């Protein structure tokens, strides 16, 4: 099975995180997209561990429930594998080769680029364009992952009643999504601009920095919305599930905002600041032009007014 898949196909986007399965279907035409269906279905604990699907059946059942909840009739789906599970390399190949010839040559020479037996690997490639150093060649992006990383996701989708048509790489999917969001949103993106995407999930916060819409830096740290849920649980004597429901739906005591939510938001600001400072200290980039805040915590009221962001003078966009 290939990794990138093919374009121009009506697909459901399936995101499998450590705590939930998210389904998104987008319709419309280029430049005028709309959400056709959407669903979020929680996962049982330990269904996914360290971004790997630990229990295919539980994940597949959650996908099936999300499909039913969304009401979609589309059965073709796209998902992604973590960048840590993928080997990528840009190689140069003769420009006159056809796609089939390139595939055959890559498979013959794969042992030069991939440290696994070819029969244990799913791979794909994409022509990036003419080589800057060799006029008669093109640069080709090769992506390869151990087949079990791909097959476990395919199996979960099938168990949920879907057919896997695209298995992408998270980093490449992020680049495409950020490019679309900024262009569609009229962000005034200019060549050379640096964009930071801060994704605050349930247990981890990830920072991805893009320049010219290509990822140049990534970092993860242990911090996420789970800490807010656990503090609600501890403070008000609720079960974890009750605390999570109250966090989303409301109904907590009057002191919740001042004594629990605001301190969490301040901690989140410090974590974002910390992530950005790690980036600045390890690169020659002195500032970023825009910040996109994503993940479940992006929906917290007032989060876009964090003093952290205004002190940097950044354009902040918030997406859940």
| CATH number of the domain residue 281 falls in | 3.30.420.40
How confident is the model over 141-166, as a mean pLDDT?
93
Q: Is residue 174, in this structure, part of any structural domain at all?
A: no
Q: Is residue 7 part of a domain?
A: no
Candidate from 21-25, 56-60, 192-196 with smallest mean pLDDT = 192-196
Query: Of 220, 214, 189, 188, which is closest to residue 202 (Cα–Cα)?
Result: 220
Whether residues 70 and 106 share a domain: the answer is: no
Q: Do 121 and 33 sit in the same domain of this protein?
A: no
Same domain, 19 and 128: no
Greater model confidence, 187 or 32:
32
Residue 26 in domain: yes
Residues 115 and 227 in one domain: no
pLDDT at 49 over 50: yes
**pLDDT for 297:** 86
Q: What is the pLDDT of residue 251?
A: 87
Residue 176, domain member (yes or no): no
Query: Are 17 and 156 in the same domain?
Result: yes
Cα torsion at 204, 170, 213, 206 (round to 10°)? 10
Give the pLDDT score at 227: 94
Same domain flag for 228 and 298: yes
The stretch 246-254 carries a mean pLDDT of 89
- Structural domain of 69: 12-80+150-166
Residues contacting residue 38 through CB under 8 Å, at least 6 positions apart: 22, 23, 24, 25, 70
We report the CATH number of the domain holding residue 96 as 3.30.1490.300
Say if residue 310's pLDDT is above 60. Answer: no
What is the percent of the chain where pLDDT is above 90?
36
Of 148, 175, 195, which marks where a domain is finished?
148
Overall domain count for the chain: 3
Q: How confident is the model at residue 9 (pLDDT cuts 50, 70, 90)?
A: low
With cut-offs at 50, 70 and 90, classify the pLDDT of residue 295: confident
Residues 161 and 74 in one domain: yes
């037996």: which residue's tokens? 117
With cut-offs at 50, 70 and 90, classify the pLDDT of residue 315. Answer: very low
Interval 223-245 mean pLDDT: 92
Mean pLDDT lowest among 26-35, 97-106, 274-283: 26-35
pLDDT for the residue numbered 187: 58
Q: Which residue has the tokens 């910390």?
A: 274
pLDDT value of position 266 = 87
Question: Tell me, what's the pLDDT at 185?
Answer: 58
Q: What is the pLDDT of residue 238?
A: 94
Mean pLDDT along residues 251-256: 92
Asked if the structure places residue 76 within a domain, the reply is: yes
Same-domain status, 58 and 161: yes
Burial (Cβ within 10 Å: 0-12, 13-18, ≥19) of residue 105? middle
pLDDT tens for each residue of 176-221: 888 887 876 555 667 778 999 999 988 889 999 998 888 999 998 8
27 and 162 housed in the same domain: yes
Residues 262 and 191 in one domain: yes
User: Of the residues 166, 196, 228, which one is the last residue of a structural domain?
Assistant: 166
Of the residues 133, 166, 199, the one at which a domain ends? 166
Are 16 and 123 in the same domain? Answer: no
The reply to whether 178 falls in a domain is no
Residue 181 belongs to some domain of the structure: no
Q: How sure is the predictor about 305, in pLDDT bands with cuts at 50, 70 and 90?
A: low
Does pLDDT of 74 surpass 90?
yes
SS3 206: strand
The pLDDT, as a whole number, for residue 311 is: 42
Any domain includes 19: yes
Distance CA 198, CA 116 (A): 33
Spatial neighbors of 258 by CB under 8 A, at least 6 apart, are: none
| pLDDT for the residue numbered 253 | 93
The mean pLDDT value for 12-22 works out to: 91
Whether residue 115 sits in one domain with residue 134: yes
């Amino acid at each position: 099975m290939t990794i990138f898949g093919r374009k121009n196909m009506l697909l459901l986007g399936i995101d499998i995180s450590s705590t939930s399965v998210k389904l998104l279907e987008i319709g419309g035409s280029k430049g005028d997209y709309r959400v056709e269906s959407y669903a979020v279905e929680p996962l049982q604990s330990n269904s996914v561990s360290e971004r790997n699907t630990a229990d295919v059946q539980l994940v597949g059942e959650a996908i099936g429930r999300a499909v039913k909840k969304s009401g979609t009739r589309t059965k073709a789906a796209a998902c992604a594998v973590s960048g840590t599970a993928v080997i990528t390399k840009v190689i140069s190949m003769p420009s006159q080769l056809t796609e089939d010839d390139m595939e055959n040559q890559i498979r013959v020479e794969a042992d030069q680029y991939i440290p696994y037996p070819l029969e244990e690997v799913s791979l794909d490639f994409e022509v990036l364009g003419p080589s800057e150093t060799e006029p008669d060649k093109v640069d080709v992006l090769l992506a390869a992952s151990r087949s079990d990383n791909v097959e476990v996701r395919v199996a979960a989708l099938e168990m949920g009643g879907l057919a896997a048509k695209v298995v992408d790489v998270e980093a490449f999917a992020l680049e495409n999504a950020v490019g679309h969001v900024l262009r569609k949103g009229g962000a005034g993106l200019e060549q050379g601009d640096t964009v930071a995407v801060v994704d605050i999930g349930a247990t981890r916060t990830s920072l991805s920095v893009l320049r010219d819409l290509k990822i140049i830096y990534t970092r993860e740290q242990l911090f996420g919305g789970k800490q807010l849920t656990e503090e609600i649980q501890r403070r008000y004597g609720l079960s974890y599930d009750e605390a999570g429901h109250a966090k989303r739906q409301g109904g907590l005591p009057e002191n919740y905002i001042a004594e629990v939510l605001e301190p969490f938001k301040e901690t989140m600001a410090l974590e974002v600041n910390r992530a950005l400072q790690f980036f600045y200290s390890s690169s020659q980039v002195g500032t970023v032009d825009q910040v996109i805040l994503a993940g479940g915590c992006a929906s917290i009221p007032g989060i876009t007014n964090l003093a952290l962001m205004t002190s940097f003078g950044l354009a902040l966009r918030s997406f859940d």
